[in-house]
Structure 1
Amino acid sequence: MKQLLCLFFIVFSSFNLFNAKDKLLCPENKEVDRLMDEAIALNREGKSKEAIGVLQKTIDLSKSVGCEKGELAATKNMMLVYSHAYDYKNALQISERVKDLALNQKNYKTLATLYGTRATLYDNMGLYNESLKEYETGLQYAKLIPDADTSHYEMSLIYYNLSPYYQNRNDDKVLYYLEKSREEILKVSDNSEEISLEKKIDMLISVNMNLGIYYKDSQNKRKDIKLSEYYFMEALKSLDQAKGEVDAYTRIDLYQALQEFYKLKKDYKKSIEYGEKMLVLEKSNSMPYNRRVGYMVLAKSYLGIGDNKMSQKYLDLYSKLNDSILTIEKEAVEVPVKKIISETKKNSDYTIKKIALISLTFLVLITVIMVIYRKRSNKILHNKYQNIIAKLNSEKEASNEAKISDDIESIKIKLPANTPDETTKILLQKLKKFETSEKFLKKEINTSWLASNLNTNPKYLSETINTYKGKNFTNYINGLRIDYIVRKLYNDPKYREYKISYLAEECGYASSQVFVIAFKKINEVTPSYFIKNLKEDQVNTQSQEHLAS
């Protein structure tokens, strides 16, 4: 199911609040409004550092002229700029000042946005309980907003953002909050003075679109293609009813969702129609990730109608764009890591100095304990790493000795002597072929899907995997996926440069967090530790080869 871009939506909807010329922040000093407009323009150009500098000037000026409304607006937008730049620490620090100012002014609308933003920040940091509390607080403030239309809109937005919070945690709550969001946005009047019709329709399109995606999701127990199409059609109706221009990003997302929906239905002509519409819009809005998906779905759709030439065209475009995206991601990955290391080192140095002033003896004792513990931990981890490498080398040697056929039909397995019947033997043979086909990389895989592909039933499939593989279905699939990515990292150095999120997606995981947990459970080391040691081994090998030559 498609992720909702909550943080992106909150940041830019909030900036637009202060862009209207008829709402002066500080009537006594128009310079405050000029600075705010300048900051908004800089942020839209991607110049977040410059925008923060101008916002600080706006805050200072607002304080000097006693304009609390201007100070609140500038402080709030500074928090949002930091949020958008993934600087969660500064964003959360500034949010405390926003809260104080908003409470003093009884600005419940700002408080609702504030807590929604804080919830997103905590969610991105993995602090899920804190995130949920912030959403609940934001909802309470949204209910206190005096203007009914604004209140309904803000509640709809929070419910909408709560939906992806429960994604992969609780499908029932995903649906509940999407329906609540739809219920609230429909209460907003079409003639509202505070919430424009375009803004209402934009929200309604987003909610209906995600309800369509929810019912389309193959892993959803409530999967219902008819309901999915109903909500997609509702989103299209809203798009047609819009008097003004609906946000381009919303339209792009909708067209892409429709493209994927009709490809699923094998209505390839409609899939192509919406895919081409999406690409036309994307050209002037630069959304490379949407474009990448669009290219791949178009390649498959054209193949579906037998147009091999067009299919190959889009497949080539997909390959080129994918390579470019991966290159950019690889170049960007080291920046936040170096920043974290630098901050950690500074904090560590400060802590050590402080402890030294308190008690030199205590410092020495702690240092000795830490060194012993670290050495022991590093030794244990390195032994686990070496065990993985030994296993890979052993498999490689065995593979070199055996003659391996590329014909999947020729693969045989040695069955246990106590295999009870011919049906089980056939199923085990099919599982062996499945393990070599890499179909386990599909994100939508579950027992029903695999049972259907192997011409058996889910219950019998699960029992067979439990008995002969010694694992439940989830652990069986996790084992295949993690073994696949371990071999990729071991055999192909370029994989060691990719982000964890890419590696997770490569081996079939929708969530980086789930991938890391599965990797550590199977190999007893994290993927980051495994990659670091592979790189060190590569450097050592190259050095030895250089010395030998």
Structure 2
Amino acid sequence: MSEKLSLRISCLVWKGSNQFFQRLYTIFISLLFFLFFSMANAETILCPENKNIDQLIDQAISLNSTGKSKEALRLLQKANDIAKSVGCEKGELNATKNIMLIYSEAYDYKKALEISNRAKKLAVSQKDYKTLSTLCNKRAILYENLGIYDESLKEYEAALKYAKLIAETDQRYYQTSLVYYNLAPYYQGQSDKKVLYYLEKSREEVFKISDNSKDVPLEKKVDMLISVNMNLGIHFRDSKNKGRNVKLSEFYFMEALKQFDVVKGEINPDTKIDLYQALQEFYQMKKDYRKAIGYGENMLALEKSNSMPYNRRVGYMVLAKSYLGIGDHSRSQKYLDLFSKLNDSINSAEKQAVEAPVKKMISETKINGEKKIQRIAVISSSVLILITGGMMIHRRRSHKIIHKKYEDLIAKIHHETGISTIESTSEKNNKSNGIKSSITITDETIKVLLLKLEKFEASKKYLRKDLSLTWMANNLSTNPKYLSEVIKIYKNHNFTSYINELRINYIIKKLYENPIYREYKITYLAEECGYITPKVFVNAFKQQTGFTPSYFVEQLKASA
């Protein structure tokens, strides 16, 4: 169970969606490893000389799981003191690890690292290489959360070194596979090659484990193999990955699915939920909406009894998109409503979790210097009043200008045939803007290229996220220089602004014609019209129209 939590860390980090809070949530979950590690050892009497130590640790674990961290800390410290007095290093190690957990949960990462030094010394003294590997892995996470990435990498390397010293062969393979697996997300966003390298290394190690191992049950091996294959599938599916390969992605997802038939016992439901969700997203990306819906509904059915809100949130949004893809607007709206409600609930909980340590810091600051803060507050308030007054005047003027632009746009939509927001690019197909070409292109070539551009616009290939001038030139059987020149002269744009105009016109049409699009988040709208990030989408929309997509949606809703 403990190792499986470590696997869930990587899976959650890779899924995206509210990345900062998911990262925070991920680190919190990973640190809970020690809680379950202690529970896993509950059946072993760590200190035969004094069973009270084990009882105190068990009570502390129970209290901490119900949010009573202060009471748990007192019991753990008592167990630690008794273990020291009777010379029971195993009991002291177990108590120390759990003390470290509590400080980690309280966001006191420096204190947690300080305590982990003692735990590490105890594990070295006992030559407990498995625990040493696990401790180094957790220290790596703490350093990463503090932004000390060089130290984090050193701890991952130490975790790998200790894993290779484990005497039991199969346990050594398993722990080594686990460290390689956890190294992969460390490089996520930095090096696709290293992510792939460590996932493949993890897969190699887990294959070495005997199916009849005494130290690693078959269920445990299979669970690990499913997770590695699943993340290889996610890696090759990732649109930001230069080595993206949809066929390989599907291959690894199918390899993960095959493992369900290897063991007679039930696969860990967390693993099933993660895999079904990854498959749901994969088939939605391929526009195979029926399969996406099937895996999504299976995931939600399992999630009911396992309470994994982050998975549920992603599941709702992907189902909303998939049902929209097959034209079932009522079910799409149902899941969109469920997504919005759950998303608000999660955001509220995350906000409270983040604000708790901040409020504590503010409270301490007030005790140490309340008068100083009051003086600063008075000065700040005076300045703020002046700034606010000026901003209000500016805002009123800006609002009038923005609203006038919105009204002009709506008037143009009503006036023109069809939904055309900005001057349609097709209207300019055969009109030169007077700019002289810097290269020689025959009239016949220009005519052919303009016809191809019309077909390109009609096919909506401008919605591709990986669209580039080179790709488009190859697709239209021409060269980038000719294409760029024709777009400049006959479309009155450079390549980027030409594509932006097509995409923004497309999403404006969707928002105007189909009210369900007005309920989608900006992230979804950006993805729908081909942008990788919401920020780029918002900037492009504002540049084309003079106002943000949020403002456009609000006005459409108000006038509905």
Same fold (TM over 0.5): yes
The 5 Å alignment of 1:93-492 reads 93-302=114-323, 306=326, 311-312=328-329, 314-332=331-349, 334-335=351-352, 338-339=355-356, 341-342=358-359, 394-400=401-407, 403-405=411-413, 407-409=418-420, 411-412=422-423, 417-418=434-435, 420=437, 445-448=465-468, 460=480
2:470 and 2:480 in contact (8 A); partners too: no
Q: Quote the residue 1:55 is aligned against.
A: 76
> Aligned letter for 2:159?
G
Which shows bigger deviation, 49-58 or 112-121? 49-58
- Structure 1 residue 300, shift from structure 2 partner: 4.3
Contact 2:322 2:332 (C-alpha < 8 Å) held by counterparts: no
How far has the Cα of 1:59 moved from its partner? 2.4
Following superposition, the deviation at residue 205 of structure 1 comes to 0.8
Contact 1:153–1:188 (CA<8 Å) still a contact in 2?
yes
Equivalent position amino acid for 2:37 in 1? L
Contact 1:466 1:472 in 2 (8 A): no
Q: Deviations over 1:121-159 (max 9, x none)?
A: 333344333322221222222222222322222221121
Give the Å deviation of 1:30: 1.9
Q: Which residue of 1 aligns with 2:47?
A: 26
Alpha-carbon shift at residue 293 of structure 1 (Å) = 2.6
2:205 maps to amino acid: E
**Cα gap change, 1:428 to 1:386, in 2 (>3 Å):** farther
Equivalent in 10, 13, 22 of residue 3 of structure 1:
13
| Conservation of the 8 A alpha-carbon contact between 1:411 and 1:433 | no
TM-score, normalised relative to structure 1: 0.68
Secondary structure at the aligned position of 2:167 is classed as coil
Write the letter of the residue equivalent to 2:302: L
- Distance in 1 (CA, whole Å) between partners of 2:69 and 2:493 is 53
Structure 1 distance, partners of 2:243, 2:138, is 30
Which residue of the partner structure matches residue 37 of structure 2?
A: 17
**Equivalent residue number for residue 79 of structure 1:** 100
Displacement after TM superposition at 1:319 (Å): 2.6
Displacement of 1:209 in angstroms is 0.7
Structure-1 separation of matches of 2:58 and 2:361: 36
Equivalent position amino acid for 1:68 in 2: E
SS of residue in 2 equivalent to 1:409: coil
Give distance in 2, aligned partners of 1:167 and 1:465: 39
How far apart, CA to CA, are the structure 1 residues paired with 2:420 and 2:318?
30
- Change in Cα spacing, 1:394 to 1:312, as seen in structure 2 (3 Å) is closer
- Are the structure 2 counterparts of residues 225 and 251 from structure 1 closer, same or farther at C-alpha, using a change threshold of 3 Å? same
Query: Deviation at 1:162?
Result: 1.5
1:379-422 Cα deviation digits (max 9, x unpaired):
9x999999999777644444445634275435317996527578
> Mean alpha-carbon deviation: is it higher for 52-61 or for 334-343?
334-343
State whether residues 230 and 256 of structure 2, in contact with CA within 8 Å, keep that contact through their aligned partners in structure 1: yes
Specify the alignment match of 1:360 in structure 2. none
Cα shift at 1:505 = 8.0
Give the structure 2 partner of residue 538 of structure 1.
Answer: none
Structure 2 counterpart of 1:37: 58
Moved more, 45-54 or 179-188: 45-54
In the TM superposition, what is the alpha-carbon distance from 1:252 to its structure 2 partner? Answer: 0.4
Structure 2, unaligned runs of 5 or more = 1-10, 16-25, 371-375, 438-445, 509-518, 543-560
CA contact (8 A) 1:205 1:235 kept: yes
Q: Distance in 2 between matches of 1:146 and 1:382?
A: 72
Q: Deviations over 1:239-259 (max 9, x none)?
A: 221243322111100111222
Cα pair 2:313 2:342 within 8 Å, conserved:
no
Asked whether the equivalents of residues 156 and 182 of structure 1 are also in contact (C-alpha less than 8 Å), the reply is yes
* Partner residue, 2:550: none
Q: Give the corresponding residue for 1:527.
A: none
Paired letter, 2:344: T
Maintained 8 Å contact 1:48/1:85? no
Cα separation, 1, equivalents of 2:355 and 2:348:
13
CA distance in 2, matches of 1:471, 1:92: 52
Structure 2 CA distance for aligned equivalents of residues 244 and 119 of structure 1: 33
| Larger of the two Rg values belongs to structure | 2
Question: 1:519, 1:287 → 2: CA distance?
Answer: 31
In 2: Cα distance, 1:49 partner to 1:330 partner: 26
Change (3 A) 1:136 1:391: farther
- Of residues 218-227 and 277-286 in structure 1, the stretch that sits farther from structure 2 once superposed is 218-227
Are the counterparts in 2 of residues 135 and 162 from structure 1 also a CA contact under 8 Å? yes
> Aligned partners of 1:137 and 1:89: how far apart in 2?
19
Aligned partner of 1:532 in structure 2 is: none
> Deviations for 1:211-260, whole angstroms, at most 9, x for unmatched residues?
11222223333333332222122212222212433221111001112223
- Whole-Å Cα distance in 2 between the matches of residues 296 and 517 of structure 1? 21
Farther-moved stretch of structure 1 (456-465 vs 318-327): 456-465
Q: Distance in 2 between matches of 1:431 and 1:249?
A: 44
* Deviation per residue, 1:319-358 (Å, 9 max, x gap): 33323233324434554564455565578789989xxxxx
Contact 1:24 1:30 in 2 (8 A): yes
How far apart are the structure 2 equivalents of 1:115 and 1:458?
55
Distance 1:352 1:84, change over 3 A: closer
C-alpha contact 1:295 1:315 (8 A) present in aligned 2: no
The 8 Å contact of residues 109 and 142 in structure 1, kept in 2 or not, is answered as: yes
Percent identity between matched residues is 44
Structure 1 residues 504 and 37: alpha-carbon distance in aligned structure 2, compared to 1, 3 A threshold: farther
Alpha-carbon distance between aligned partners in 1 of 2:364 and 2:495, rounded to the nearest angstrom: 44
Size of the aligned set, in residue pairs, is 480
CA distance in structure 2 between the aligned counterparts of 1:287 and 1:453, rounded to whole angstroms: 45
Partners of 1:75 and 1:97 within 8 A in 2: yes
The code of the aligned residue for 2:342 comes to I
Show structure 1 runs of 5+ residues with no match.
354-366, 485-494, 496-501, 524-549
**Separation in 1 of the partners of 2:479 and 2:84?**
68
**Paired residue type of 2:52:** E
Partner of 1:499: none
